[in-house]
Amino acid sequence: MNERDGRRAALITGGSKGIGAAIAQCLAADGWDLTLSARTRETLDATAASLRETYGVRVLTVPADMTDESAVSALVAAHADEYGRCDALVVNAGMGNKGAVESFPPRRFDRLYQVNLRAPFQLMQEMLPTLRATAGDDGTAKVIAIASSTGVYPEPELSAYGATKAALISLCETFNTEEAVNGVAATAICPGYVDTDMSEWTKGDGGIPAEQMISGADVAAVAHAVTQLGRYAVLPQAVLTRPGPQLHRA
């Protein structure tokens, strides 16, 4: 719980909308204080104001570009300074790109790598002392990384995106072999298509209707459930699929 007022605290990247905002709402409803980060100050502040008004929790906003190493470091420091603890680090900020292997630009792959894998690694590494201190000798702290089912099962034209998410899943699993004994456990949540802006490209004619996609609230429910697990329960991966004859397709 928060060192200052007995409340738990979470840092959520990509927290201004979509899955991140849904997780923020779910944790705020449970009485958590929050640090929210995203690139756009206006959207971030609007989400934070709504959470403060509705749930009466503290919400710190820290705009940050996940490709900027110094900005990621400043985000970690700002959260630690504000709350003195981190019960959950929610690594949600990410980007997607579609393209066949034969034509996908390597430069675009580099950006996917920066946002979807390098930034999560840096966040986990730099927040680790605070996570360990929060868990203490008998408690727990969680890392929740929003990956994708394309990191588990192949999806045509999503090779670059899926590769970064597969690596994120692997990062969480290896992190657990080192840190779960310290009470700090990581879970990679791997949903299929979620009804967010990132999935707009597949909602058109012949695509998947928004109402048939996984909702942000569904992902948030899984994330919240992970925060309820005790010190000796580790969930390395949670795959969340849509119904249908091909359950393992996004």
In the residue annotation, 113 being an active-site residue is answered as no
Do the strands 88-91 and 33-37 form a parallel or antiparallel pair, or are they unpaired? unpaired
User: Is the distance from CB of 201 to CB of 250 less than 8 angstroms?
Assistant: no
Tokens of 178: 């080192």
10 Å CB burial of residue 181 (0-12, 13-18, 19+) is: exposed
* Helix%, strand%, coil% for the chain, nearest 5: 50, 15, 35
What is the C-alpha to C-alpha distance for residues 82 and 156, in angstroms, rounded to an integer? 43
Catalytic pick among 113, 161, 193, 232: 161
- Residue 118 DSSP one-character state: I
User: Distances from the Cα of 170 to the Cαs of 50, 94, 145, 176, in angstroms?
Assistant: 35, 16, 11, 10
Residues 6+ apart with CB under 8 A from 161: 96, 97, 98, 112, 116, 148, 150
Task: Specify which residues 240 forms β-bridges with.
Answer: 191
- Residue 152 DSSP one-character state: T
What is the C-alpha to C-alpha distance for residues 211 and 31, in angstroms, rounded to an integer? 29
Catalytic annotation, residues = 161
